[in-house]
Amino acid sequence: MKINRELLHAYLDDLLSETETARIERELRSSPALREQLRKLIGERERGDHSLGSIWRRHRLSCPTREQLGSYLLGALDEGWQDYVQFHLQTVACPYCLANLADLQTLQREAQPRVQARRRRFFESSAGYLKTIISTPK
């Protein structure tokens, strides 16, 4: 992915993965033009840039909530929202939302063994209970 202003903003806000941060730092070392772009971006921030774009980015007005990202991950959003979140993640490639989604995916993977164990216990206790009901004469 090409390094753009949004990615540099995410870099400055420390919102990127270690891999992505390392990639940007390598590029910054080798590209005077990218260093100049970062310097200008830092200058805009220090001046308190109040452009519509900076306010939009700062408050993440186009970003879905963490709950919406979780619902997207489960495929539980209505079609319009599902399409929007997919666009936001894949086309806009919002680093903040991609990091949030990666975190939710990690939590989901970590929870799978516990969920399966809990379901097995429920099934075993239900199956045992049903056996006693069925085998008990009335």
Torsion, Cα of 15, 86, 66, 81 (10° steps): 150
Q: What is the pLDDT of residue 130?
A: 63
N- to C-terminal Cα separation, the chain:
70
pLDDT, one tens digit per residue, over 4-59 is 888 898 888 887 888 889 999 999 999 999 999 999 988 888 777 677 776 776 77
pLDDT, one tens digit per residue, over 82-125 is 999 999 999 888 888 988 999 999 888 877 777 777 777 777 77
Backbone φ and ψ for 25, nearest 5 degrees, come out as -65, -40
Query: What are the domain boundaries of the chain?
Result: 1-61, 64-138
Backbone φ and ψ for 3, nearest 5 degrees, come out as -80, 120
Distance of CA 13 to the CA centre of its chain: 15
